[in-house]
Structure 1
Amino acid sequence: MPTYLELSEAIRQVLLGEAVAPRRQVLPIPGGSFLVMPAADSEWAVCKLVTVEPGRTPAVRAEVWARRLATGEVFRLPGEEITRRRTAALSLLAAHLLAPRREGALLLVGPGAQGEAHLEAFAEAFPLTRVLVRGRGKERVEALLERAQGMGLAAEAWAGEEVPGDVAFVVTATPSPTPVLPGRLPEGVFLAAVGSFRPDMREVPESLVREAALYCDTEDALLEAGELQGVGRPVVTLREALLGRRSEGRFVLFKSVGHALFDLAAVRAYLGSSPD
């Protein structure tokens, strides 16, 4: 299994390479939606298939189909695990590139699978002084705190009204349609907002968006992310940032909604390049 740093490097290579991917297709099905997300480069053809059915448990099921073009081999990979780890690796790539502060506390809002993956990713790459966790489910919060403590990190639940000044990294990973953060963050924070994925969802309050240096994973986020609707100034994509473009603000907001290019990058990291 590739490390988060290896996954983030694979994403960097794909973003700067010649891979292609259309916007995701969303089709209605009884009780939910069916999402189709293809991508390809010179070595791989990849497609992630997702069903979203709010009335079922789990509500989201996914798988990734990949064909190695040189040999015709076909692989079927677990979509939930691919999405969990490549999303955290994407945030890690953005943080490595854009975070004003390189050491400090990590605040996780949302103690689910993405919260855990981001804990693993940021602990792999940055010297974290402590971990703070907030979430609606007490058992899930306690489980994530135990996970952090098992990694040798000081960890506690965050119940305050203000984000502590030692926080250098913030991750919001919730399906909330309304903001889950207060209206003020410490100077120089890196905020990865990964939970909201529709125009009617907004984890980050508008007051923070106005203050932030704005970045997004791809141009699709400009259409899909609630936080970026109606923003009257440029939002820099991660590819543009890798090429040297920068945004200005009191702290960094990196908004991601996901993209097939990142699934392609994960396939490359998990399965490797074509044999010579």
Structure 2
Amino acid sequence: MKAMTVGEPEIREAVTMKEAIDAVRHAFVDLAGGEFEMPTRTALRDGQFLVMSAHHRSTASAMFKTLSLNFERKPAITGTVTWSETGRLDHLIADAGTVTALRTGAVVGVATDLLAPPEAGRLTLIGAGGQAPDQVRAVHAVRPLRQLTVVDAALDRAQALVESLAPELPGVELLTSTDAGSAVREAEIVCCATNATSPLFPESALPAQVHVNAIGAYRPTMRELPDALLAGSTVVVDELDAILEESGEIIHALEAGAITRDALTELGAALTAPTADFGKRTVFKSVGVAVQDWAIARLLADKFLA
């Protein structure tokens, strides 16, 4: 028996964003089908330490992730993802920060592919931190971009991000801003990847048709989206129990009476439902669930433990 340890370079070389999106999509379909045993994650010190696990029944495989978060350091996320399977003696240990960024991007790719108009190509990304690059890569993988605007309170950080992504986005118009309200006015897709505790923009700043992804707020004390946006949109969430416990946006909107629980659709159910008209405004809210990590870990295990 041995443990294979893989870091960021190996993970990035082994798994493409398209592969990650496909794997996460299949995982959410399996989640909707009852294939997973997935406890709600354990959060300590108001989310600074997280423990997540998922067991996939049909493959008898399991993933365990432990990590710590500190937005004052780089990288902000450190920890490990461990994969094991009853049919294999070897197990895999992967860098949690890289897996988290990749799987968070991938689920946004899944949701954007499902909910955004086919012709959408103008993306506004709010937040230029560690999760930001994979948000852009995932959206670009399912909706080829014509324009990218990166918004951050620190303009130099936004500029550094677009410069780093430029080689991956030939022909895409690259813009930066410090004003989220102005930057979303003509967006067709918006991605929010911040640690904000109050809405990033007013609902009135958005165009009549837009798809919004929000992945930054993962605790009840955090919010990126206004109640009015949730009230006037089709809202898809990663997993209802996790959202009701951890999503500040959803908790606030429910308590304010802006939405009801019946207005929330889980991603797995949306993926397996008959083709539906989701309306002109759609929102995907994710706090991150363990099946996403399982999906990436399985890809890595298949590549490194074959």
Structure 1 and Structure 2 fold alike (TM over 0.5): yes
Unaligned runs of 5+ in 2: 1-13
In structure 2, relative to structure 1, the CA distance for the partners of 1:3 and 1:53 (3 Å cut) is: closer
Is 1:97 the counterpart of 2:97? The answer is no
Q: Distance in 2 between matches of 1:239 and 1:66?
A: 23
Aligned twin of 1:34: 49
Alignment of 1:7-86 (within 5 A): 7-17=20-30, 18-28=35-45, 33-41=48-56, 42-52=59-69, 58-86=75-103
Count of matched residue pairs: 274
Decide whether aligned partners of structure 1 residues 268 and 191 sit closer, same or farther in structure 2, where only a CA change above 3 A counts: same
- In structure 1, the partner of 2:11 is none
1:156 alignment partner in structure 2: 175
Distance, in Å, in 2 between the alignment partners of 1:87 and 1:273 is 20
1:181 matched to which residue of 2? 201
Return 5+ residue gaps in structure 1 as ranges.
Answer: none
CA contact (8 A) 2:122 2:145 kept: yes
Between the aligned partners of 2:283 and 2:226, the Cα distance in structure 1 is: 12
Q: Is the 8 A contact 1:148 1:154 kept in 2?
A: no
Q: How does 1:113-192 map to 2 (within 5 A)?
A: 113-150=130-167, 151-152=169-170, 153-159=172-178, 161-163=181-183, 166-184=186-204, 185-192=206-213
Percent of aligned pairs sharing the same letter: 28
Task: Identify the residue that residue 265 of structure 1 maps to in structure 2.
Answer: 295
Whether the 8 Å contact between 2:184 and 2:190 is mirrored in structure 1 is no
Over 3 Å counting, the alpha-carbon distance change for 1:109 and 1:27 in structure 2 is closer
Give 1:119 shift.
1.1
TM-aligned CA deviation for residue 274 of structure 1: 11
- Looking at structure 1, the residues matched to 28 and 71 of structure 2 have their Cα atoms a distance apart, in angstroms, of 32
Letter in 2 for 1:15: F
Shift of 1:211: 1.2
What is the Cα-based RMSD across aligned positions, in Å? 2.5
State whether residues 234 and 282 of structure 2, in contact with CA within 8 Å, keep that contact through their aligned partners in structure 1.
yes
**Shift in Å at residue 88 of structure 1?**
0.6
Larger proportion of helix:
2
Offset, 1:198: 1.2
TM-score, normalised relative to structure 2: 0.81
